[in-house]
A and B are shown apart, each in its own frame.
Chain A
Amino acid sequence: MNTTTVALTDVGKSYGRADALSDVTLALRPGITGLLGPNGAGKTTMLRILATALAADRGTVEVLGSDPGTATGRTAVRRRLGYVPQETGFPRGFTAFSFLDYLAILKEWSDAETRHAEVRRVVELVDLTDVAPKRVSALSGGQRRRLVLAQAMIGQPDLLVLDEPTTGLDPAQRGRLRDVLGRAGESATVLISTHQTEDVAALCERVVVLDGGRVLFDGAVTDLVRQATGRVWMADDRHPAAQHAWRTGTGRVRNVGDPPPDAELIEPDLEDAYLLLVGDAAHDAGLEAVS
């Protein structure tokens, strides 16, 4: 499927005098898209706009054929949306199951029998069956994170907006989550904001990199990685020309930047490419400021 489901055109959002998003134009299609960027890049602002939690100040936003700027448009989007915010609290007194059941009602699942079946499905999906009768306050951080993910999956939404969904999950849980999201991405549009480049590399066919409220890169993950080819090398020590360098488990140093002529080049990964992209952008911005 190659049809646009989410379209942002010249979208801007400001907090006071600070621009969180500047003229962002983006079109999303069914499949999984990763959203990378340093802290303060505008990722959460963009996700909140798509999730109808925030209105854009400028530009046009169209989500699943509706305009979230209108009340009816917002409701139409919300009926087909699953959203995992970066952080959320939980009301007191709920068990994991009753919390999901309550949110399912707020998603207009009024028939108790089918609602309970759907809640059991999402509980199973995120592997919380054993703790479903427990109070939310007794759950671990990872279990709570999966609980939030479970509510987003209720009703198999057409658009999943996930803000750092893997935070606090152990490797096994992250593996299971990748499976769940991979299946969801077969039919739905999934946008994942994360700092975990390995999650993006493992899950996403497409990646968008934001920095300073602007889109630095929008394309295939492989294309971004390819940009780093020839700029990652191993050495015994940190090289002065490297933008980033760290000692690996082998005892040798992985250098990322502009290599010397005799460098021992290695295959880059997404993290290398991301670091170079953001580092180059900062460097260019610095040059512009000086000139």
Chain B
Amino acid sequence: MSAGLIHAESPAPAAVADGRATLLALARADARRYVRHPLFVLPCAVVLVMVVASVVQRDGGGTDPMFGTMMIAFFFGVFGFLVAHRLTNSMLRTRELAGVLPVGRQVRTLSLCLACLVSAAAGTATVGFMLVTAAFWPPDGEPSSLPVAWFGDYPASTVLPALIAMGPVAALGGPLLGVVVARWMPFRGSGLLGVVVLVVATAIPASDSRGSDIRLASAWPVLMDEHVDPDTEQIISTTFVPGITPGWALGWVLCLCGLAVVAALLRDPQHRRPLLFAGAGLTLAAAACYALALA
């Protein structure tokens, strides 16, 4: 039977490229979809208004790192969870068609993980804006005669990892978790359920009354309000949670992001072995970072 079959060269045109080029092209397309998604556009507009308003007011409270990173984590991380979840599940409507295309589900998942960098970029831009505006227009204290020092005498090598961990990485981690939930729980309502779990699981351990080990487990652990004026209840500064080293905390949350990518990719049967090795390595690295952050 097979003797008569055509075993021709692939008729693929010159435009057909290797897997890496395809992945990058797909990631660019997914990033465009991410940027245009209403649940990303709307938070961007809100964040833009809030950071600009805080600079215009220059009241010392609007752009403080605690508030700024919280804004990033909520608007880009939590909303990003929903964006990534919806983008991941969007092709389910076309599964009969998409299921017989040469680019498989695992590559599409990896592409969506790369597209989540859009959210991280938005978080980075917001943190950058906060730092630049704070440098040029330092926030006033309450009363105005009191200067506000965000982190006291801490060096930039401590401050920057904290801002990165709680801003851009939080903005990345939310969407990555959205991809994971969409891949493993593709049922209707899993997105909203996931958001509720994400907010509760982050907010409860992160409260000021918890120990540093529990706060670190919240994945949003490093910053806290340093001082609240007892008369005006005005937040005048931000500092670090005692007992947590921001640099290692950054490593911890980055490992969690890596584990999320591995978990999303493990949904498909291809490349299971290297993925499991990568997952084991990341788990060890995460445990080490966690321990070192508390040391």
Show the binding face of A for B, using Cβ within 8 Å: 3-5, 7, 9, 27, 51-53, 60, 62, 64-65, 71, 75-76, 78-81, 83, 85, 87-93, 101-103, 105-112, 114-115, 118, 148, 151, 155-158
Contacts and interface: CB of A to CB of B under 8 A. Distances in A.
A105 B103 contact: yes
Contacts, number: 131
Interface string B1-25: 1101111101111111100011011
B207 interface: no
Contact of A90 (B24, B37, B94): B94
Nearest to B99: A53
Given A62-B2, A81-B100, A110-B17, A105 B22 contact: yes
A79 B103 contact: no
B174 to A, nearest CB: 20
Given A7-B2, A105-B26, A109-B25, 14 more contacts: A7-B1, A60-B1, A62-B2, A62-B5, A64-B6, A65-B2, A88-B97, A93-B36, A105-B22, A106-B102, A110-B24, A114-B13, A115-B15, A156-B11
A3 B104 CA distance: 30
Given A3-B5, A78-B101, A78-B102, A111 B96 contact: no
B67 to A, nearest CB: 32
- Which 3 A-B pairs give the minimum distances between C-beta atoms? A89-B93, A114-B15, A110-B17
Nearest to A2: B4
B204 to A, nearest CB: 34
Contacts of B4: 3-4, 27
A155 B8 contact: no
Contact of A89 (B2, B16, B94, B270): B94
Contact of B90 (A65, A83, A92): A92
Contact of A158 (B11, B91, B96, B99): B11
A108 B11 contact: no
B58 interface: no
Contact of B6 (A3, A71, A112): A3
B101 A107 contact: yes
A79 B99 CA distance: 12
B100 A52 contact: yes
A27 B2 CA distance: 11
Contacts of B91: 91
Interface string B49-63: 000000000000000
Contacts of A79: 10, 12, 16, 102
Given A108-B17, A109-B16, A110-B15, A4 B5 contact: yes
Given A79-B12, A106-B108, A9 B97 contact: no
A159 to B, nearest CB: 10
B15 A109 contact: yes
B6 A88 contact: no
Nearest to A83: B100
